[in-house]
Amino acid sequence: MPTGRYVIIKIPAPGQEQLALVRYEKEYGILVGLNHPNIIKVIDFSNRFPYLVLEYIDGENALTAYKNRSVPLDESYAYLLQLHGVIKYLHRQRIIHRDIKPSNILIEKHSKRAVLVDFETSRSINDIDNIKIYSGDYSPPELLNGHSDYFTDTYSLSKVAIFMLSNKSPTEKITLYHRLSYLMEEDYTKRSNYVDEILSILPKKPLLYFYQEGIVNKLYPLNEEGLKIGRGNVCEIKIDDINAYIDEVHAFIKKENETYIIYDNNSVNGLWVFDMGSYVRVQKHILGNNDILSFGWNSRSGPYMNLRVFI
């Protein structure tokens, strides 16, 4: 039955059907067991005439995004925080991606969601396949010998971090490289397995990331005392919304019993939470890591001002 949504359909080149069947079946087998907002969703698979149906992401890959414009530092940090979270999730599921690189990271246009794609070469830590893989500078040396483990993804993510933070000053870039060098050792026995090591170069959580094109693209620390968010001068997070869709005090956040709760301040356009594939208007919401909210939403244009939570 038609759903009215766009999808991506992978089909093989002529004469490559058998090879594609093996690759699509493997990718489907990995993706169908995963559920994370920063992982591409699989929808269908056929082993007759092989094809693989995937979620459509309205955006571009990170390689193209960073070539086409100067990406603000806070936006890059928001991507890396998301990538850290998704790779940590994969490793908890005992999955190694093995091909993390900018062209395999899609950036969703309206939300700045970073989505990891291309799981054809991924494997369960329990399945030893000895496949030799090479993906340019983002591939660690052990992949050429058919060896991989969690430290393989840690190496690649560190390389992605250097790529995404390349607009730092020369001195800052040298410092960044030195701080990550132990995660990019050519000898994997000297490298860390733990993706949490990447957090040493990122802003400390808890953080809020606000995005609306032409208005705000910034990370804000979430403090213990709580804060007000809106256009007014009384707000700790003051957003200069030229369209005035955001109220003077649109919402406020309090810390209660070790949790952060956001409250709508009777705003005109509302506080919305992205839940199970759609936005739902709420009066309050307990904030969790990687939550997506919006100040304002309508059925024609979708979310107005996106807020992503890192806790």
Does the pLDDT value for residue 2 go beyond 80? no
- CB neighbour burial string for 288-305, b if at least 16 within 10 angstroms, e if fewer: eebbbbbbbbeeeeebbb
Each residue's pLDDT tens digit, 211-242: 999 999 999 999 888 899 999 999 999 999 99
- In this prediction, residues 39-60 reach a mean pLDDT of 94
3-state SS of 197-215? HHHHHCCCCCEEEEEECCC
CB 179 within 8 A of CB 161: no
Instruction: List beta partners, residue 10.
Output: 52
pLDDT recorded at residue 47: 87
Pairing of strands 278-282, 284-286: unpaired
Is residue 3 very low, low, confident or very high in pLDDT (cuts 50, 70, 90)? low
CB atoms near residue 47 (< 10 Å) = 11
pLDDT recorded at residue 5: 80
Is residue 1 very low, low, confident or very high in pLDDT (cuts 50, 70, 90)? very low
The CATH homologous superfamily of the domain defined by 7-55: Phosphorylase Kinase; domain 1 (3.30.200.20)
Where exactly does CATH 1.10.510.10 map onto the chain? 60-201
Is residue 169 very low, low, confident or very high in pLDDT (cuts 50, 70, 90)? confident
pLDDT recorded at residue 219: 97
pLDDT recorded at residue 225: 86
The total number of residues written for the chain in this structure: 311
**Residue 145 burial (CB < 10 Å; 0-12/13-18/19+)?**
exposed
pLDDT recorded at residue 80: 98
Each residue's pLDDT tens digit, 251-283: 999 999 999 999 999 999 999 999 988 999 999
Q: Provide the 3-class DSSP secondary structure of residue 98.
A: coil
- In this prediction, residues 189-195 reach a mean pLDDT of 93
CA distance 159 to 153: 10
Radius of gyration from C-alpha coordinates of the chain: 21
Is residue 125 very low, low, confident or very high in pLDDT (cuts 50, 70, 90)? very high
Task: Tell me the CATH number for domain 207-310.
Answer: 2.60.200.20
Q: What percent of the chain has pLDDT over 70?
A: 99
Each residue's pLDDT tens digit, 82-120: 999 999 999 999 999 999 999 999 999 988 999 999 999
Among 1.10.150.170, 3.40.50.620, 1.10.510.10, 3.90.1530.10, name the CATH number for the domain at 60-201: 1.10.510.10
pLDDT recorded at residue 173: 84
Where exactly does CATH 3.30.200.20 map onto the chain? 7-55
Mean pLDDT value across the chain: 94
